[in-house]
Structure 1
Amino acid sequence: MLAALRATHEHLDLEVLDALTRDAASLPALLTELAAAREEELEGPGALLRGQVVVSTCNRLEIYLDTDRFHDSIALMLDAVATTSSLPREQVAACFDAAVDTPVAEHLYAVTSGLRSLVIGEAEIAGQVRHAYETARAQGRTSTLLHDLFQHAFRCGKAVTTQAPVGAAGRSGAAIALDLAAAQLGGLADARVIVIGTGAYARLGVAELQRRGVTPAQIGVISLSGREDVFAASHGVTPIPATQLGAAARAADLVIACSGHGTVLHPEHLEGVGRTVVLDLALHSDVHPGVADLAGVSVLGLADLRRELPPTDQAAYAQAQQIVAEHVAAFTARCEARRLDPATAALRQKVAEAAQAEIERLHRDAAAETAAQVERSVRRILARVLHEPAQHARRIAAEGGAEQYAQAFHTVFGIDITAAAPPGTARTGAEHTGSEQQWMRADRTVPPVLAMTEAETSQR
């Protein structure tokens, strides 16, 4: 079955997300390590971890698992995040929602389509989800179920972007942030800009600035990791040593802080300057809180990018939701069809074994040329005959009749395939309504290791 945990901007403050995502890059390896250690202790059949994909961005931390053990896998994920974030396990459990099967696909497809972003319709999230999946695949951490889940997600995101553009309509969060900065500065054409950081937001910000007519000579880049020269050379901007941060900031009209290294820009760097806009775009803020108190300085953070969907976009949003529903239905049908793969394989194997015995007898009793011709004819006939049951199986599975098909298959052919399907796979089906109500708080799904205080329980 699919199991997932999610902690997003829709339920949590960005500061809490920042804490949860600390060292999220080490989560996949830790999940694998913990699963290997615990599977030996679990009773009964079924794998704890068949595959995993971790999606970590500035707006969310989501973990998708292919597992046979829902509650054990939730406990596994919570323990892993508690370890990487260094937060108390009970606090982590209070921050996450959990779900299984169809609601997981519904959520992922809406996320990949930009419908659950801070800026609805923004473009980065599809690339971030794809990067997370490709990283997991390259590390050998995915499964057939997760492959199907994410491939449908990518097709869904593309369909929404092309057929029902909504909100930011495929624009980046950096573009929205620069809209806000331009409004406060009266335009960006003559603005002097420094970018702190060389990551994804820095690249997007520089590209968007240049698209708006800001010349490379007006843009400087500072890297706390010493990568300013490489970044500047590839983007045609001016490298600035980190030691000159104060002078560069005082000379700038716009500061884009997106390094994620923690507090980099302090009040003394901008004290006494004229009109300056600071875009604080890192989840782990680069900007000291005191900067916002300086006269003439305006600080805009990730939370300021949030915008309500205008009434003119409601129809497009409804169409986008319908596209998501269609792709979820296609994925569910695919899962049901895969449940019957063992039946099709068993039938092919049984027929092939019977045919092979006759073919071997034919080769013993007939001339070689005659035997070869008959063998080719027999195999062609069998391929045509077996094709139709396979097509029927797919259609019946898509209509929700996989269980009945499996029982009928056993009755007719005497082959029991129930053991071939991993426990829980039947749950990816029609019994789920697709409602957000199918998500539950993780600390109500699996008992916390430590009892929570009343204050902690009411945090969210």
Structure 2
Amino acid sequence: MAFLIVGISHRSAPMSVLEKAALSESQVRELSRAIAEGGYVNGVAVLATCNRLEIIADVSTFHGGLADLGGALVDAIRTEWTTLSEHLYVHYEERAVEHLLTVACGLDSMAVGEAQILGQLRATLSLGQAEGNLSSELGRILQQALRVGKRAHSETGLDRVAQSLLSGALDSAPGWLGDLGAVNALVVGAGAMSSLVVANLSRLGVGRIAIANRSLDGAQRLAATVAGRAVELDRDTLVAEVADADLIVSCTGARGTIIGADSVAAARELRTTRDLRTTRSVQRGDAHARRRQFFVDLALPRDIAPEVGDIDDVRLVGLEELSRIFAAGPHHDAADVTNAIAAVRAIIASETAKLISKRRANSVAPTVIALRGRAKAVRDKEFARLAARLGPDVDARVLDEVRKSMHRLADKLMHTPTVRVKELAAEPGGGSYADALRALFDLSIDATGPLDVLPLPGTVFDSEQLQHLPGNISIQEKS
């Protein structure tokens, strides 16, 4: 197995490019199937989130595997390779393992330390298993990544300092809306992210929470967790609910805009009409804040049209602005955050070393099997020759004892070199010991590793290198 990751995320691409790479569940399945059909792919899993699309693969060769992955990716998101390669990252072998563990721990997320990625990674593993696209080795490495991610959250202070997308977005909400305990909130969508949003709004003491969803059952289940109100989402109810809400958070899996500027304009007109008939502004004592609305768009592609942010007394925060907030946020300099992240990085480094060491040790298994097979063949041949020379007059029990002695002798002679070669192979560059054994004993085994010329383990390619990869890369021809 050669472990290869090809991906695009908020760290490597602008939102305009990420929107093209935002695939629906059916598109993720199609992409997985297309990659699995590649001639150099032994197993594949696709991790797709609101700000990340990564192909995690077990490939037989680096160059061939990259061609298979890249070609399928170009077809899936309909973007030329020369354009796409400017924003892609490629991790191979040890660096790929380290990157996967970093992602699982939430250190590569827009909101550092968020735990939602574990659920997304678990869903990726489940989908790969259901589709039959995982090799046994790839399945194991994904399970190990989940284990390490859980360990990072349980053994460090990561949960205490983790910043969710919502909390980052709401940093400026009180200054725009006033006391959050007095506002009405509307959450559009009832999926996993919406559940996190609702939990956070409740924790922040938001006055009333309504959940609007195309499936009323889903909205009702989520609303019940916070004694909120459930609404079946359609054009009319959306306008009415937006008119009634001060804080609107949208995070659906829709492929198009859910909240347009026209809907918001209609809602605000309805809001104004309602305000003329109520004393609410007097009761709240802040008419200006009452007229304001704060929109948060956590979806990719966008749920809320960018033009909504141009409407008077409306503030819109989307993923692109959130990425800047988290990049510049003061929480990155806090001592407890720094210590927690350092502890998580130590866990990642330790676990990466263990996993790579184990893989290196396992890689010599064919050599060990071949060596023991050679010893057995020699032993059996010599025993057969001895038995033939001694003839039928030799007592069968004596002959059996001789056979057992030869068996024990061969085993003892093979024990030390086979154990030591596994130990030595676990170290960097340890593969040379297996090579030496194969040469010394003239062992012939099936190729188990990449067949073409490989980059050094851990190689990370930049955009220029990706556009000029040598060898048998033919991705542009596949687009």
Contact 1:124–1:172 (CA under 8 A) maintained in structure 2: no
Identity of aligned residues (%): 27
Aligned to 1:294: 311
What are the equivalent positions in structure 2 for 1:27-426 lying under 5 Å apart? 27-33=28-34, 36=37, 39=39, 48-166=40-158, 169-182=161-174, 184-214=176-206, 218-223=208-213, 226-236=214-224, 237-241=228-232, 242=234, 243-261=236-254, 262-266=256-260, 267-272=264-269, 273=271, 274-306=291-323, 307=326, 308=328, 309-312=332-335, 313-350=337-374, 389-411=417-439, 413-417=441-445, 419-423=446-450
Q: 1:179: Cα distance to partner?
A: 4.6
**Conserved in 2, the CA contact under 8 Å of 1:93 and 1:448?**
no
CA separation of 1:56 and 1:185: change in aligned 2, threshold 3 A: same
Give the 3 Å change call, closer, same or farther, for CA 27–100 of structure 1 in structure 2: same
C-alpha distance 240-27 of structure 1, shift in aligned 2 (>3 A) = closer
Other-structure match for 2:20: 19
Could you tell me how far 1:49 is from its partner in structure 2? 0.6
SS in 1 for 2:132: coil
| Contact kept in structure 1, 2:86 and 2:464, CA below 8 Å | no
Aligned-partner residue type, residue 257 of structure 2: T
- Cα drift, residue 208 of structure 1: 2.3
Is residue 43–residue 138 contact of structure 2 (8 Å, CA) maintained in 1? yes
C-alpha separation in 2, matches of 1:3 and 1:228? 42
Q: 1:438 to 1:374 in 2, by over 3 A?
A: farther
Q: Give the SS at the match of 1:125.
A: helix
Distance 1:61 1:420 in 2: 32
Q: Show CA shifts across 1:407-456 (max 9, x none).
A: 34335544333x3423259969xx54x57567865333346637x9xxxx
Q: Distance in 1 between matches of 2:429 and 2:415?
A: 19
Shift of 1:10: 1.0
- Tell me the equivalent position of 2:7: 6
- Cα offsets for 1:228-265 (capped at 9, x unmatched): 23331354132213231111111112111111322121
The AA in structure 2 aligned to 1:405 is Y
1:43 is aligned to none
TM-score (norm 1): 0.79
* Deviations 1:333-373, CA, capped at 9 Å, x for gaps: 122111111123334445667788979x9xx9758xx98x9
Q: How far 1:77 sits from its partner (Å)?
A: 2.2
The count of aligned residue pairs is: 429
Q: Which amino acid aligns with 2:448?
A: A
Is the Cα–Cα contact under 8 Å of residues 360 and 425 in structure 2 kept in the other structure? yes
Q: Is the 8 A contact 1:97 1:441 kept in 2?
A: no
Q: Secondary structure at the match of 1:278?
A: strand
Write the distance in 2 (CA, Å) between the matches of 1:167 and 1:233: 26
Does structure 2 conserve the Cα–Cα contact (< 8 Å) formed by 1:2 and 1:65? yes
Counterpart amino acid of residue 110 in structure 1: T
Compared CA separation, residues 412 and 443, structure 1 to 2 (3 A): closer
C-alpha distance 355-425 of structure 1, shift in aligned 2 (>3 A): farther
What residue identity is the alignment partner of 1:15?
S
Structure 2 Cα separation of the partners of residues 86 and 427 of structure 1: 28
CA shift in 2, pair 1:389/1:179, >3 Å: farther
Cα 1:338–1:427 change in 2 (3 A) is farther
Q: Cα deviation per residue 1:263-283 (whole Å; 9 max; x = unaligned)? A: 121232443551221111101
Q: 1:427 to 1:296 in 2, by over 3 A?
A: same
Query: SS at the partner of 1:56?
Result: strand
CA contact (8 A) 1:339 1:402 kept: no
- CA gap 1:414/1:23 in 2 versus in 1, 3 angstroms: same
Contact 1:184 1:277 in 2 (8 A): yes
Counterpart code for 1:288: A
Root-mean-square deviation over aligned CA pairs: 3.7
| Post-superposition offset of 1:295 | 2.0
2: CA distance between counterparts of 1:53 and 1:34?
Answer: 9
**Residue 271 of structure 1 aligns to a residue in which SS?**
helix
Distance 1:153 1:203, change over 3 A: same
Q: Distance in 1 between matches of 2:292 and 2:309?
A: 12
Task: Output one character per residue of 1:172-202: Cα deviation in whole Å (capped at 9) or x when no partner.
Answer: 3334434543554334333222111122211
Paired amino acid for 1:121: G
The answer as to whether partners of 2:3 and 2:92 remain within 8 angstroms in 1 is yes
Structure 1's unaligned 5+ residue stretches are 40-47, 453-460
CA drift of 1:163 comes to: 4.2
Q: CA deviation at 1:405?
A: 2.3
Any stretches of 5+ residues in structure 2 without a counterpart? 272-290, 388-393
One-letter amino acid of the structure 2 residue matched with residue 422 of structure 1? G
Larger Rg: 2
Pair 131,183 (structure 1): closer, same or farther in 2 beyond 3 Å: farther
1:94·1:441 contact (CA, 8 Å) conserved in 2?
A: no
- 8 A contact 1:197–1:221 mirrored in 2: yes
